[in-house]
Amino acid sequence: MYVHKLYDSDIKERTKEEIPIKTKEMIAKTKLDIMDGRTALGIEFGSTRIKSVLIGSDLSPIAAGSFEWENTLENGIWTYSLEDIWKGLRVSYRKMATEVFEEYGETLTTIGSIGFSAMMHGYMAFDQQEELLVPFRTWRNSITADAEKLLTEAFEYNIPQRWSIAHLYQAILNQEEHVGEVHFLTTLAGYIHWQMTGQKVLGVGDASGMFPIDTETRNYDQKMLQIFDELTEGTAFTQDLNKILPKVLLAGEEAGTLTQEGAYLLDPTGTLQAGIPLCPPEGDAGTGMVATNSVRQRTGNVSAGTSAFAMIVLEEKLKTVHPEIDLVTTPMGDLVAMVHTNNCSSEINAWVNLFKEFSESLGLDVSGEKLYTMLFEKALEGSPDCGGMLSYGYYSGENITGMNEGRPLFVRTPESQFDLANFMRLHLSSAFGAMRIGMEILKKENIQIDKLVGHGGIFKTPEVGQRILAAAMEAPVTVMETAGEGGAWGIALLAAYQAEEETVSLADFLEKRVFAESEGVTLEPKEEDLQGYSEFIERYEKGLTIEKEAINALK
């Protein structure tokens, strides 16, 4: 597959020598795609960036645009304003359309299909007049502890604090004035799609972060809806939850078309035409699965950056409720176990910055990229058990290990093998420590994994992060060149899938149309790495008491 650019905030802009040369034939083909509308547009609202990616008939990116934004803390609530949502959308689209004109000399008047995605969960509640009742409450808010506990017990199903239903129930418990006026409840992606099409719908993957999904019906779990009605009896909330939640759609199903009003919201110049079909809006978890070809059962992906998460597509339901494991679905409604950790690469970055400061103090000019590469490669010279040392890169609390706050720690004994190789291997191994503990829970449930795809900045240096992750996950890990394209590319692919004329499963569409020629490197875990990581994680679990004491002692 030809890839025009890498759209990944973890990867710097490539030099001219690194960018593939576009032949006249390639440019001519892309121009025809744009003129004839053989394109798909994906726009994803991430936590720090809104990104638009336009793809052609070969499903590779043609152009992109983005808008940087940040959530704000208002009255104790993490939120984004409606003004910023629409400003960011328009700027992101305009930059993408401008790149189309500059690169190919074509004005974007129509698109084959469009898809919107966004960070999952959160709370957007509207009244009967379609007015937002309270500011958008994002996934970042940890204000629903009571609702989380009560709903998890009542449903016998893990309900994390960031889920939409937890936010609604907490508002009911708090006796907030607006709860009796809630007429429609949706996510950020669902809100954008509604304004673009008039349709109150949601992709099943995003819906699974609002309310539990019954994987048999691929719809909201009706038994749990009934339990919720019983829980809220006698409160100010008297509405039928079934009627205020968005309609659930699967990938490939019709989700409405761009209205004239929607076209102006996206492109105020009036150049973009109405009538363009849209795919079901999805969450960032689903688009990440699509962008890494991880939607089949027994496959998964691991995203590793400041935080990290592993998503494994299950063959059947888990036997036990685990508060450490979130359950969501693929864009086709298959159950997915999500192991989320708040901390991953921050401590590695801190130590690399220290080494950089040291080199600069010696008058050495070493680029950050060279330093990362050297230190990562050095890690492979270390002992698989990290030389008997221990570290916790906890900059914030970690749910899986029961830490409510973070204290970065490095601990060793006088007998530890303290050298640079073991030091670097230690911190890379520790980055996946909490995730490994979460995966141990799934292992006890006899979950099978055939393939894992790793993506994120920690995999930029070939082999190193990939090899350590394979040992931590006890499974083969694949890193693909296209994994860096991100969620905006993933929702663009879902938009292209919705426009497919042939009836084919999403998994087959990805494998045969998108990733058939995609180069990837797969590493099987080595026996010595498996043994060494097992010794390390045993030490890691025993040392958690040190972390707890550090939290108490260092206030």
> Domain containing 126 — which CATH number?
3.30.420.40
Give the total number of structural domains in the chain: 2
Of 229, 244, 259, the residue that ends a domain is 244
Using only C-alpha atoms, the chain has a radius of gyration, in whole angstroms, of: 24
Instruction: Please tell me whether residues 540 and 405 are part of one structural domain.
Output: yes
3-state secondary structure of 178: helix
What's the CA dihedral at 300, 343, 66, 190 to 10 degrees? 60
Nearest of 118, 217, 115, 125 to residue 180 by alpha carbon: 125
487, part of any domain: no
Residues 223 and 359 in one domain: no
| Residue 476: closest CA among 446, 453, 504, 448 | 453
Listing DSSP states for 267-332 in one string gives: -TTS-SPS--BBPPPEEHHHHHHHHTT--STTEEEEEESSSEEEEEE-SS--SS--TTEEEEE-TT
Inside any domain, residue 133: yes
- Which has the closest alpha carbon to 294: 61, 477, 47? 477
Would 491 be classed as within a structural domain?
A: no
Whether 225 and 361 map to the same domain: the answer is no
Whose tokens are 């083969």? That residue is 476
How far apart, in Å, are the Cα atoms of 436 and each of 3, 89, 432, 516? 33, 37, 6, 31
Per-residue pLDDT in tens (0 to 9) along the chain, 555 residues: 222 222 233 333 333 334 455 778 888 899 999 999 999 999 999 988 999 999 999 999 999 999 999 999 899 899 999 999 999 999 999 999 999 999 999 999 999 999 999 999 999 999 999 999 999 999 888 899 999 999 999 999 999 999 999 999 999 999 999 999 999 999 999 999 999 999 999 999 999 999 999 999 999 999 999 999 999 999 999 999 999 999 999 999 999 999 999 999 999 999 999 999 999 999 999 999 999 999 999 999 998 888 888 999 999 999 999 988 999 999 999 999 999 898 999 999 999 999 999 999 999 999 999 999 999 999 999 999 999 999 999 988 898 998 988 999 999 999 999 999 999 999 999 999 999 999 999 999 999 888 899 988 888 899 999 999 999 999 999 998 755 568 899 999 999 999 988 889 999 999 999 998 877 899 999 999 999 999 999 999 999 999 999 999 998
Same domain assignment for residues 412 and 546: yes
396 within domain boundaries: yes
In a domain, 506, yes or no: no
| Kind and range of the H or E run holding 114 | strand 113-118
Q: Are residues 378 and 232 in the same domain?
A: no
DSSP-H helix ranges across 184-249: 188-197, 204-207, 222-231, 241-244
Is there a domain that residue 268 lies in?
no
Question: Is 484 buried (19+), middle (13-18) or exposed (0-12) by CB count in 10 A?
Answer: buried
Domain of 169, in residue numbers: 121-186+211-244
Does residue 272 fall inside a structural domain? no
**3-state SS of 300-318?**
EEEEECCCEEEEEECCCCC
Phi-psi region of 338 (alpha: psi -120 to 50; beta: other; left: phi over 0): beta
User: Is 169 part of any domain?
Assistant: yes
Residue 307: closest CA among 10, 5, 81, 42: 10
